[in-house]
Structure 1
Amino acid sequence: MVRKYQKLVSMMKQYLSDLKVYKVGEVRKDIYIVGKKNTGDYAGVATVSVET
């Protein structure tokens, strides 16, 4: 799992600038990782985390 996460982070750093992580919620958190493409558009991924 760690390797997959490291690969995702590496790829996002390669293609996106100004990366930001947004967490919304208390126990069930929606997580958005967003960055800016060289075209000026934004791209990212979304996931959910349950923190107990």
Structure 2
Amino acid sequence: MANTNNNGTAQSVTTKDFNERVKRTLVDKLDPQPKAKPAPRRFRTTAPVAAD
């Protein structure tokens, strides 16, 4: 591989290279599990008992 002059500037990455890198990093990752939905809130339909 030829030596290239890198003076601290960012090197461009093609979309194909980027996608390949992402695929390699995600190979061993587990699929995120869907979180359970919270229980529906049950609101009281009757008025609270007034304490005297």
TM-score tier after normalising by the smaller chain length: under 0.3
Which structure has more relative contact order (CA 8 Å, sep 6+)? It is 1
Structure 2 length as normaliser, TM-score? 0.28
Larger radius of gyration: 2
TM normalised by structure 1 equals 0.28
